[in-house]
Chains A and B, each alone.
Chain A
Amino acid sequence: MRQAGGKDDAPVREAGGEAARGEVAAGRRRTYAELLRWDTALGVLLVAVLLAGAGGTEGFAETTNLSAALNDTAEIALIALPMTLLVVAGQVDLSVASMLGLSSALAGSLWDAGWAFELIVPVCLLVGLAGGLLNGWLVTRVGLPALAVTIGTLTLYRGLASVVLGNKAVADFPETYAQWASYTKTVPGTFVPYPIALFAVLAVGAAVVLHRTRYGRAMFAIGAQEQAAWFAGVRVNRIKLVLFALTGLTAAFAGIVHTLRYGSARADNGIGLELVVIASVLLGGVDFNGGKGTLGGAVAGVLLIGVLNNLLTLNDVSNEIQVVVTGVLLIVSVLTPRVIAVAGERRQRRTAAT
């Protein structure tokens, strides 16, 4: 795990004797760093892709296409929010797609049994909360690493989904709710479908929590140096537990959205989605080791993957190439900050030598 505060303090300290010059250099470097911040770059890239699409691809800028493309990212976008907070705190949850499937399967089997949809939703959300709490409990109380725990629950929740619904597929969900999740019905006056509108509201909430409250600062502290955070009085375990619970809850909600959107409840819904979520978050510049990243970056990551896939599909680029594009972007996103850091260190060493 990364040492706390390693990024900015070290160069200044090493500059030592030539304090004045060192500070000027550090100041200039910080400006570069601001300019080269990955999430800003990603936002610019997103806008560029949107403009290029609007200019060069027929049908891309039409509202129906944008609504459909946005709505296709609904579940990924929703789950990416708590996932960003988790990764910032140095944790990860790989069981989200399985929880999505479990929630979908449960919704299907209860609906089939004649339950009211208004009752099914809270039941599914409670199951999501319980699943999240189980992950959190295993990590915080039993002390297992998040990766190991959630690989286990990834299999467990998917298995439970199969137990609940078997190989059945339940369809014919109520039209009013299906409409809510569909891309054809948008927030009046815009091309934004309701699940995405909800995501936007939640994203603002999550950004405020992460970047403007002491809870957010605590998450960064835990991700940077858990021990130090603990000694500083941060309730490490409680925050982790809450984050896992929130993630489970959101995944279960995404399961409902998925079920309504596709009008089909199945145990295998959303298989493999956890990797797309995590890829989006990492693409957004959130450090997998924790302690670094912004919510805006993660949102840009989600949107960029969604928009790129839509644009490439419209241009008949095969699915294999799309996967390669996403893969390359991901590697670049992980590599770039590292390269900048190494280059900075070299320049620093040269300055110190003269």
Chain B
Amino acid sequence: MRPHPRTRVRTRTRARTTARARTLAATAVGCALTLALAGCSGTTKDDAKDDAGSAKEGARNAKADPDAPLKEGLKLAFLPKQINNPYEKIVDEAGIEAAGEYGGQAKEVGPSDAKASSQVSYINTLVQQRQDAILIAANDPNAVCGPLKQAMKRDIKVVAYDSDTHKDCRQLFINQASSEDIGRSLIQHTAKQLGHKGEIAILSATQNATNQNAWIEFMKDELEKPAYEDMKLVKTAYGDDDDQKSFQETQGLLKAYPKLKAVISPTTVGIAAAARYIGGSSYKGKVVLNGLGTPNQMRKYVKNGTVEQFSLWDPEKLGYLASYAAASLSSGQITGREGERFTAGELGERTVGKDGEVILGPPTVFDAKNIDDFDF
């Protein structure tokens, strides 16, 4: 490059520039020191008071009236992790149908990407639309907290389902099955298939998914037991609940770990993509695939021998239960306190557990024998 027209000027003033640079550096150091000093007396984690729960307490002071009838014309909104997820669609549609049984109006709205920040703007608009209850499958337990508290302050009931929020930010959590049951049983089933021996890998959803991470923790805990000393978890891969990415991650896992004996995918998107890859490769019948999937997605792979068994709770019942729980809350039958009871339509009477949790029941195991009894 040719010298810039201004270079001459620059050489003349070099001495001055160096002096200026030195002054600048000194100022910078000074600033840093001041900041460090300020930092010593600043706000740290220990000072941060948790004012959480105040919004909920207000709502809780209201008394539950177990005999109150379900109100007519309740407005409910389901806010799934993302709208084009087939599993969430089944849950929400069942919930919307249930609302028809008790004369309520329900709808499903949500982002097309599984991001907490996208859910936040939806919560704000739902508050603005004066819904009676918001049902949310949270993409992040904390990021959705602020707006949900605002909703509760304005007497909108909040029910989390499928993936929980921080417990101060909702009145109820409808848990599909206890996380412990899911995590431990996935390892137990897979171990039985493997004869308690060999390398295994997990193909999860996103790195931050609340429910998947909770299950994986219990899987790891289960693996600590002496019965599994010959089994080794070599890697947890993340397919981001994206079909393409999950497919590629499965491919990568089997390439990187030639001794891999099983893949566990605790997400419906992941297991379907993994089954598609394994079913079309030489690993078919040699590598065990287990996890959580829907019968309609997995039927083909169970019949062609790629997958021996997988499990899931009934997502329709989850949506149904969540819908009734939200209606009972909005009608004042329950407030979310432990021990309160409500009737969930054809599912019968349910009790609110610790921390406002209502558990749907143990997961169902699907295999070649029973898969044709289910259609979802």
Contacts and interface: CB of A to CB of B under 8 A. Distances in A.
Q: Looking at chain B's contact residues, is the secondary structure mostly helix, strand, loop, or mixed?
A: loop
B208 interface: yes
Interface residues of B, number: 53
A166 B208 CA distance: 9
B142 interface: yes
B122 interface: yes
Contact of B140 (A62, A119, A169): A169
A177 B43 contact: yes
Interface string A110-149: 0110111111001000000000000000000000000000
A313 interface: yes
B44 interface: yes
B188 interface: no
Contacts of B118: 319
Contacts of A171: 141-142, 145, 166
Interface in A269-310: 269-272, 309-310
Interface stretch (B106-114, B191-199, B220-228, B348-356): B106-114
Contacts of B140: 169, 262, 264, 266
Contacts of B4: 230, 235
Interface string A156-187: 00000010001101011111111000111000
A268 B207 contact: yes
A117 B206 contact: no
Which of A72, A162, A313 gathers most chain B CB within 10 Å? A313
Contact of A264 (B44, B142, B150): B142
Nearest to A167: B207
Given A172-B48, A263-B142, A316-B109, A72 B124 contact: yes
Given A115-B44, A233-B6, A262-B143, A313 B121 contact: yes
B146 interface: yes
A270 B121 contact: no
Contact of B48 (A72, A173, A310): A173
B206 A268 contact: yes
A263 B113 CA distance: 20
A326 to B, nearest CB: 12
Contacts of A313: 109, 121-122, 125
A117 B43 contact: yes
Interface stretch (B33-41, B294-302, B334-342): B33-41
Nearest to A233: B5
B259 interface: no
Contacts of B146: 178, 182, 184, 261-263
Interface of A: 58-60, 62, 64-65, 68-69, 72, 111-112, 114-119, 122, 162, 166-167, 169, 171-178, 182-184, 230-231, 233, 235, 258, 261-264, 266-272, 309-310, 313-314, 316, 318-320, 323
29 contacts: A59-B129, A60-B128, A65-B128, A68-B128, A72-B124, A114-B45, A114-B46, A115-B39, A115-B44, A117-B43, A117-B44, A118-B43, A119-B35, A162-B207, A167-B207, A167-B208, A175-B48, A178-B146, A233-B5, A258-B117, A262-B117, A262-B143, A262-B146, A263-B143, A263-B146, A266-B208, A268-B207, A318-B109, A320-B112
